[in-house]
Amino acid sequence: MSDVFIDRTKRAIQDRAGNRCSNPDCRVLTSGPNAHPEKSTKTGVAAHITAASPGGARFDPSLTAEQRRSAENGIWLCQNCAHFIDTDYLNYPVKRLYGWKIQAEFEAECEVKRLPKKETSFNNSYFHDNQEEGWICPFCGTVVGLGKFVCLGCQAEVVPGLTKNERIELAKTGMIAGFASSAIFLYIVPSWILSYFKLSIPVSGNKLIISIIFTSAIISFFCARGVVYLSEKSRMQSPPRFFRNSVR
């Protein structure tokens, strides 16, 4: 079911924005005269900041139906800008749209009250106490809360770090690097030193081989763990990735 705005709510959103598009790069007037003397031409739209229903742009499952259809969740835009924020929703996240809304209403208040802008401060009450912080799913536009691993809009998997396959491949790379390093430092370099200086160390062949293999295994293990850890740490500094199929 879609939580659409009722006419009274649409009117409130329009009036609070001063009947202008809330996009600061647009700010076009959204109504004017029509050729018919008793009609007017309207180009404004009361758009949802978070979608009215699942699957819509920036849908936030943490909001109630009442919050979703309230004026607080609406922004007044011209038809062009309203189209852009829903079709290119990754460039228009929730916080950006709330910023537009606050700025537009701030300017409208200044004009109505004839106040200099510096005398009016932003009212941050527009940000819901229950508004969930998170990421926008690139497949359906749903807001996925921080710490959640599944998009409720399209069931896409959210991976904040490395995938299982990436960990496996990085672990293999680390083990190979560790084995190569141990071979160089435990066998090749000592053999060259003994040969160069014509030294002889009486060590049982089997014991030497076992020692080298055991030490190489330990070095390879820690190299693999180190490569995975550093790669995971680096990946966690970037936004999470969304996958249609399970990658864990």
The model's pLDDT over 141-177, given as tens digits with 9 standing for 90+, comes to 778 888 888 887 788 899 988 998 999 999 999 999 9
82-86, 99-103, 203-207, 237-241: the lowest-pLDDT one = 203-207
Q: Is pLDDT of 121 > 50?
A: no
101-110, 122-131, 149-158, 170-179: the lowest-pLDDT one = 122-131
Contacts of 176 (CB under 8 A, 6+ apart): 220
Q: Is pLDDT of 205 > 90?
A: no
Of 127 and 178, the one with more pLDDT: 178
Of 241 and 138, the one with more pLDDT: 241
The model's pLDDT over 168-201, given as tens digits with 9 standing for 90+, comes to 999 999 999 988 888 787 777 667 666 766 666 6
The model's pLDDT over 49-100, given as tens digits with 9 standing for 90+, comes to 999 998 888 998 888 899 999 999 999 999 999 999 999 988 899 889 999 9
The whole-number pLDDT of residue 145 equals: 80
The model's pLDDT over 209-238, given as tens digits with 9 standing for 90+, comes to 777 778 888 989 999 999 999 999 998 888
